[in-house]
Amino acid sequence: MNQEAKRGRLKIFLGYAAGVGKTYRMLVEGQALQREGVDVVIGYFEPHERKDTMTLAAAFEIVPRRVLEYRGVRFEEMDTEAILRRHPALCLVDEFAHTNVPGSARTKRWEDVQVLLTAGIDVFTTMNVQHLESLNDQVWQISGVRVRETVPDWVVAQADEVVMVDLTTRALLNRLQRGVIYEPAKARAALSNFFRESTLGALRELALRQTAHEVEARQKHGSEAAAVSGIVPNVTGARDRILIYISAEPSAAMVIRRGWRVANYLHAECHAVAVQPDGAAEGGRARAAERQAIERHLAFARSLRVETHTLVARDPARALVAFARQHQITQLFLARTRHRLFARDWAARVVSLAPDIQVTIMAERRR
């Protein structure tokens, strides 16, 4: 008997806000498979006191949650190990982007899902488009909310199917006002914050545009992965190559997201480079803080599966451009920097040294 499990299949129900029907759709499709004889359990379900979804969930076996205590407070998390022991054919997991309480075996729920998939268990899960890591800055500009719980794009790209669950903004607001999504007090607060019609409209457009792009990319590259609408894995481009310059500036995270997203749209290679000036070991506490900031940004780039490099050079601008030419870079992304060891015209000097490369200089956005 072959003990090696075949990897499970992942299906993501994608929306643009709470209440569009992601969990409901997941449960409905789970019930349909259950009627066909598929062994289905709920690994994690967040009812939010919504009667329709609670009624649907009653048809399934629910794996008990694991209780953890953190700073004197009890939290309930999905019990991944219990699900592995139960080993259903399909596990329904709500809130894919959730961050687990400290003390859990894994930091993120999407990491728990990866464990289930590796064990050969199929997973249906739910998330909103604002939790996609590369869209974090755009969502902040739209909503004024910096989303802290994110899923790396490569994780979503590996899904076998991504289905957008859509609802017009007017219909969503109507559901909110009728108390279908939240209880009255919370609904009133939501209407004055995240659930403003202009914000919802922009998020819905973002979700639709993301889905349309990925469908087009799937058709263009002839992917064999089955999906009605969804995210396709990167296909390395023969022409475009993206380079992201990483500094210690806080805006470096925004540059990484923008550069990665352009690379994803162009199906291009993507590199990230940090340049340490020669002799940067001196400088005491300020220099150490800068090195730590750069390492955090490099780690963030690696989490998006961007290939990272660190150079040491007396002339950082020249070294950056030389690296770009060596790797046949076509587009270079950088932010204005206040680095005290760099010349004040740092960005202008990079542009002058690289007339054959498209250089995008990003200003730090403020709301």
Q: Which residues are CB-contacts of 93 (< 8 A; sequence separation ≥ 6)?
A: 43, 44, 78, 109, 112, 113, 116, 123, 124, 125, 126
Cα separation, 311 vs 347, whole angstroms: 18
For CATH 3.40.50.620, the residue range(s) in the chain are 241-362
Does pLDDT of 194 surpass 80?
no
User: pTM of the entire structure?
Assistant: 0.75
User: Parallel, antiparallel, or unpaired for β 66-70 and 73-77?
Assistant: antiparallel
Residue 37: per-residue pLDDT: 96
Cα separation, 220 vs 217, whole angstroms: 5
For CATH 3.40.50.300, the residue range(s) in the chain are 10-221
The chain-wide mean pLDDT, for the chain, equals 84
Higher pLDDT, 98 or 279: 98
CATH architecture, domain 241-362: 3-Layer(aba) Sandwich (3.40)
**What would the pLDDT profile of 295-312 be if each residue is shown by its tens digit?**
999 999 998 889 999 998
**What would the pLDDT profile of 40-66 be if each residue is shown by its tens digit?**
999 999 887 788 889 999 999 999 999
Tell me the residue type at 190: A
**What would the pLDDT profile of 200-246 be if each residue is shown by its tens digit?**
999 998 888 877 766 665 556 554 444 444 443 444 444 789 999 99
Q: Which residue in the block uniquely carries the two structure tokens 């990079």?
A: 350
CATH architecture, domain 10-221: 3-Layer(aba) Sandwich (3.40)
Work out the average pLDDT over 325-351: 77
Q: Which residues pair with 123 in a beta bridge?
A: 10, 91
Does pLDDT of 339 surpass 60?
no
